[in-house]
Structure 1
Amino acid sequence: MDSTRRMTIQSKNSYNVVMGLKEVTERPSDAKKILQSCDSSCRTCEKSADLCTSCPEGKFLIHGTCVSACPQKTFGNVASGKCEMCMDGCEVCSDHWHCQKCQTEQEQPRFLHQGRCLQECPEGYFDDSETCKECSGSCKTCTGSATKCLSCKSPLLLEQWKCKPACSEKHFASEGICKHCPEMCQECIHDQTCKECVDEFFLHEGKCVQDCPSQFYAEDKHCFPCHADCKNCDGPHSDDCSECAIDFFVLYRGMCYEECPEGTYYEEATKDCQVCNRTCQTCSSSTACLTCRSGLMLNHDGHCVVLGYCSHTEYYVEKALTCQPCHKKCFRCSGPTEHQCLGCANNLYLLNTTCVETCPDGYYVDSDEGQCSPCHSACVTCAGKHSSQCLSCKPGWYRQGKGCVNQCPSGYFAQNSTGSCERCHKGCKECMGPQPTDCLFCDTYFYLLRSKNECVSSCPEYFYESKDNNVCERCHPSCRTCEGNGAFSCTSCVWSYSLLGGMCNTDCLVGEYKVQETPGKEPKCERCDSSCTECKGPGPLNCTVCPASMQLYLEESRCLPCCSGSDPAGTPECCDCSETQDDCVLRITLPPENKSKTTFFVITCILLLLVIGAIFFIWRKSRVKTQAVNKGGYEKLTNPSKTFPSYASNYHEGPSYQEDQVIEYRDRDNEDDDEEDDIVYMGQDGTVYRKFRYGLLEDDEEDELEYDDESYSFR
């Protein structure tokens, strides 16, 4: 062995490792050891040259071997210099916490998400080549791609893998998903409840049908019920029948009778009552009278004729045994006046026994009979006898489609401002207005929340769904959720109560709530707020049961008094106890002091504005007068001593006045007329001037004007 690479040491140990060398025993009989070089791949080794115990920089130890790259499921730990295992399920990783590729197993696939391997991607991510990628912003969950949504973030709705703010036509929203309406349905609220049908179909009990069934008539794309007398009809009233509900009844002018009324006969061909000839009082057919009207007599042919066989434009006078002419408007008559006609001349219509050019309100032109026939009792004006032929409705009646009704049908409400029946919101079955919070009754699968008058698909906390009347009914006060009324139907409890066998219990007395509970010790309880009978916590906003004459306002868990009809302003916040005894329907009234304060503030502001306006007006007026003075002229007075003797004498008697004097002189006959004021001015030399307004002097006076601007001043 090369002497330069061999050393002999004395040692009691079997092996001693030196960096780059290994210790070998040459003679087992003695303790001399020989150190040999490790394999070039090792930094240190033992037992053999290629059994590494550590590796050079840049390499990692695994199973006694140094490698440049660690095998799959391991990673090179620079700190320890070893290949260490990745986390469970990881194929390739950079350290213990950051996987880069997961193991591929058909039976149990793994998905890479934020450096970890999961059995499935979390919500908001989808699997893309065994890597979890984030869904698009509107998706709550997705599959296959970021934009192929499985569910949406509220309040968006899922339709055909996309999230939308509202469902498209012929779809409805249910649990965040847009679902297709039933067949032939244009608008719906449930897969079993249509609210509007496509053209040529009619809505009947939530379904779309081509023809309305018996005892219903079609109007406004809906099937409405007939009157109880009718088997089939064309309107809602008793005179809208086209077939009678009772088989042996007969039909006349849309009404059902036990027998044909006087003036009509039963026609076998049409199976109804037809009106007799107008000359007949009663008849057996259209050509055979049984009795005649007044003034006519029955001949042997069964016809009613005028006595004496007068012409169609004459009537018979029995006393004179002669025929006399009818009024010119009449074609057949019973007397000489225009109010005794039995028929009318051309272009006139018989109204009772008078011929008129046009039918008045309440009547329509019956061209077949040549007369004015009465409209339906609901109509002011009409085009026919049925209520569906009204052109305008009487007061207290409402326009419904083509007709008039005194009560709007189910699904409609009376709009007084327009005098018509208008559709309820699609969420309501019956309503009192157009809003979704105007519901009175709900369709199947929906429940009325009476505190808001709104139909909901599922009842909120503290309520359960009563399928008998489709109403959200109140749970017992101790229940948070329940399956029915009573204390034994709870499924979860309000705070500080515990559920046991469907009942919510508390360890405290009535009127107390549990503050804290220590194992092995009695719970600590405190009194409820004075506004509560029972409660779930401190203060007035944790009530569960209220005193008599008060109701629980669930949204805030506080007790409010019932509204007083005599003094509504006395309770600004109160519950309308007439609406329901189970839930508070909140009513808010503005206190009178607030109203008076508001009124006082408004009046004060108006008065203040008027005062400011008056001050501004006076100031402007004074400015105008000042400007008028500055722009004025002065007229020299020829004999001032005669006109104003006192002024002149005063001036000369007071020589101490070295400054100008301005003296105002008002016309004694017109003291209140500011516009006519004259101002007299005396100069230093004793000359007196009178100030005047431009435009008031005559033309011949203009030459006499003089000015003394320098000496003029005000005091």
Structure 2
Amino acid sequence: MVLIDLEMVLVLCLSVLLAVVDTGETWRVKTRACPQGCNSCSLFNGCITCKPRYLLLLHRSGMKQVGYCRRTCPLGYYASRGGDINRCSKCQVENCEDCFARNFCVRCQSPYYAHEGKCFTVCPEGTWGDRKSGDCLETVHCEVSEWGSWSTCRKNGADCGYKWGEETRMRGIMTQATPGGKACPELTETRKCRILQRNCPVDCGVSEWSSWSPCSKDSADCGYKWGEETRVRHVSTPPSNDGKMCPDLTETRECRMLQRHCSDDEADTETGKKKGRKNRRNNRRRKNRRRDRPRKSRTHSSTQTQGEGEDVITTERTRLRSRTEDPGVQSREISRDLPTDLLSI
């Protein structure tokens, strides 16, 4: 090993000597033709030193080593920084593809798994191999929550109509188990139970709505502008055992009559008779209203003045007073009203 290292040093020194030129004052290394990142280089051995923030990677080719300057180290190498030079050193862990330090592997070659800086074909106990990441991960067992409350006692989906049924309670998964971990226990539990309500409630059932009736008012289908039409429905299933009650069975809405005036032929019909009775009632009401109004005097015409009417009224009052004061007139009027047998006495 000592002889090989000495040979490498001699080769490196020879390369530097061949790459320098004599300027008459000092000896300096050519840098004009060096690859990117190189601070100094050799014609035969490539980069000798690198610029700051670059890493020197030495690659053996036969009897010589060729240097390269890189920003990052390739797979199988790790960066070692210190002293005057930063270099990429090869990983010393077997089957390692990428390492963090000399003896700490962070990614192994397939099909190996990385665990604590080393590579394994089978992960140690308490871990499992993840193909996606290539690591040995810690084994996790399944964890479940507490049981929930018991459900309503049912049978065939119904909570009534039976004596016995079943009730269920459940719990959920909080943490899934990884490969090699304990599987989850049962998440559902069922037991027999007694149904509290034996008789099921029956809601009211109704039929479809019928067609709308003809538009009418006061049982007449003519003689009005507006009327009403009605439709009905029937109870098909009566409610029982506290079931829902029946909705309205009749629906009425306002409508416009198609026939405004009744024809003469409708006078003989029941509808025409009702219409006629209504008209007669209306006529009687109008007559009563006219009768209750104050009357004008019949003893004078419409062309008489107010003074003439007062004279006629005064004359009539005088005539009536004279009849009551005349004894002969009173006796004749009394005798006219008495029976014949009394007059002969």
Q: TM-score, normalised by structure 1?
A: 0.17
Question: Which of 1 and 2 has greater Rg?
Answer: 2
Q: TM-score, normalised by structure 2?
A: 0.31
Q: Which has the higher helix share?
A: 2
Q: Which has the higher strand share?
A: 1
